[in-house]
């Protein structure tokens, strides 16, 4: 089950904002555990070094990291070409780059709006732009195309967070889901599946690294308790919940699944409509 031996995965955003397990790092490591050769990108050399250390600690040798700005088309193309040179193909693409900034249409600056669209939507567009031709050629050559998994957020369904608004984040993530569906149908006869993991509130290094300061909460522990209380299942998820969903959608067990969204949120969107917090 979920055997990825022989497959090559390109993971954009494979680092973590701090020590520990972010969604991208956990996804990269889990793909490698399942037998895939993994090529990871991140805008931070330090973040990639942390992922490399995790790979090395587990004896996972089929890993290569490259510092890449996924908003820059030429850098993305070079990273994709580097992956092809080293591993020969790309069977799995995970677009995990993103981030949120609070604000309504008046309070959010134009600069931050543009950054939200670039980080959450353009990165996936560029990843697909440069990887899809390789997947299509593979399908023509050996009948094995590829699987793309884009990482979205339940903020795409509601942007209210106890009075806080994230119009840029909500709009870009909703756009990402539409982009995924449209791309899936465009490539459905060309051997490529495209799906989205819609992530809820996760207990990752992001909580202590950024949200504690952004929300003005006294401590990471206080923030974790507040976020846990919002989840019907009783707790936030973690990076492995996201990674497990990604690996399933990327695997052959999901061969009949495309153009869909897998919501990983502990029941938040069903149980607490309008009370959603970005991941």
Rounded CA-CA distance 104/98 in Å is 19
Rounded CA-CA distance 274/265 in Å is 14
Work out the average pLDDT over 44-57.
Answer: 96
* H or E element in which residue 219 lies: none
Indicate the pTM of the whole model: 0.93
What was the pLDDT predicted at 222?
Answer: 79
Q: Which of 159, 169, 187, 256 is catalytic?
A: 169
Rounded CA-CA distance 92/182 in Å is 18
Rounded CA-CA distance 88/228 in Å is 43
- With a CB cutoff of 8 Å and minimum separation 6, the contacts of 136 are 145, 187, 190, 191, 192
Percent of the chain with pLDDT over 70: 90
Annotation says 169 is catalytic:
yes
Work out the average pLDDT over 53-82.
Answer: 97
**How confident is the model over 218-277, as pLDDT tens digits?**
677 777 888 888 899 999 999 999 999 999 999 999 999 999 999 999 998 887 554 444
- Count Cα neighbours of 155 within 13 Å in the Cβ-side half-sphere: 30
Domains of the chain: residue spans and CATH: 8-200+238-261 (3.40.50.720), 201-236 (no CATH)
């Amino acid at each position: 089950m979920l055997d990825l031996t022989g497959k090559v995965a390109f993971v954009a955003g494979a680092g973590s904002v701090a020590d520990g397990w972010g969604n991208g790092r956990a996804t990269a490591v889990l793909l490698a555990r399942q037998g895939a050769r993994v090529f990871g990108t991140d805008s931070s050399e330090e973040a990639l070094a942390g992922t490399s250390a995790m790979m090395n600690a587990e004896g996972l040798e089929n890993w290569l990291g490259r510092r890449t700005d996924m908003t820059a088309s030429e850098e993305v193309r070079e990273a994709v070409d580097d992956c092809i040179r080293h591993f020969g193909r790309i069977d799995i693409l995970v677009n995990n780059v993103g981030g949120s900034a609070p604000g309504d249409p008046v309070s959010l600056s134009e600069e931050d709006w543009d950054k939200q669209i670039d980080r959450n939507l353009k990165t996936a567009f560029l990843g697909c732009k440069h990887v899809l031709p390789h997947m299509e050629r593979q399908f023509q050559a050996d009948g094995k195309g590829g699987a793309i998994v884009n990482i979205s957020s339940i903020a795409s369904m509601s942007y209210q967070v106890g009075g806080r608004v994230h119009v840029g984040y909500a709009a870009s993530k909703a756009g990402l889901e539409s982009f995924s569906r449209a791309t899936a149908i465009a490539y459905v006869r060309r051997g490529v599946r495209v799906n989205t993991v819609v992530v809820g509130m996760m207990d990752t290094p992001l909580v202590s690294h950024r949200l504690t300061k952004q929300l003005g909460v006294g401590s990471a522990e206080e923030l974790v308790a507040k976020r846990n209380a919002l989840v019907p299942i009783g707790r936030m998820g973690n990076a492995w919940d996201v990674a497990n969903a990604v690996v399933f959608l990327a695997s052959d067990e999901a061969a009949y699944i495309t153009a869909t969204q897998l919501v990983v949120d502990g029941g938040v969107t069903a149980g607490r409509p309008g009370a959603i917090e970005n991941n």
